[in-house]
Amino acid sequence: MKVNLIPPTIPEDEKSPLVEQLVAFIEQQGNIIQQQAEQIQQLKDEIARIKKQPPKPKIKPSSLEKKKKDKSTKQPKGKRPGSKKRRKTAKLQIHKDRPIEPEHIPDGSEFRYYKPFVVQDLKLQAFNTRYRLKV
């Protein structure tokens, strides 16, 4: 926690020996406060370490004000292999098609469509069942 308190500038013609002493005194107090703040933080970290708690994280200053590099100069790498969206059961042979009725159907509702679920089981031969939930 670094606090920079900058006292106002005093013109040379208004500086008296008393004002110069007070400015020096204020600067000395600012240094003492800074040292004490660092020591307090160290002690807090020590207490947290003894209590087996994580210390205060060191957070980097914001980089929002810095100029960002133009991202258009980078060449896109493309998609990773295997990230293409595709249906895994499109070419799968379905051996049995079995509709399922929902447990609780509210009064006045109407059938719209089936929502398919494919379950792949292994028997001595491949045997696939598609469950269609009435929605």
What is the residue-averaged pLDDT of the chain? Answer: 81
Residue 69, pLDDT score: 60
Q: Give the C-alpha separation, 87 to 93, whole Å.
A: 13
Q: What is the dihedral of CA 32, 34, 39, 44, to 10 degrees?
A: 140
Q: Kindly report, residue by residue over 64-113, the tens digit of the pLDDT.
A: 777 666 555 555 677 777 777 777 778 888 888 998 888 888 888 888 88
Instruction: Name the band, by pLDDT with cuts 50, 70 and 90, for residue 38.
Output: very high
Q: Is 114 buried (19+), middle (13-18) or exposed (0-12) by CB count in 10 A? A: middle
Q: Give the C-alpha separation, 106 to 134, whole Å.
A: 13
Residue 39, pLDDT score: 95
**Mean pLDDT, to the nearest integer, of 32-49?**
90
Residue 56 corresponds to which tokens in the numbers above? 């205060």
For residue 100, give the nearest of 129, 135, 128, 131 by alpha carbon: 131
For residue 1, give the nearest of 48, 50, 40, 43 by alpha carbon: 40
Residue 49, pLDDT score: 84
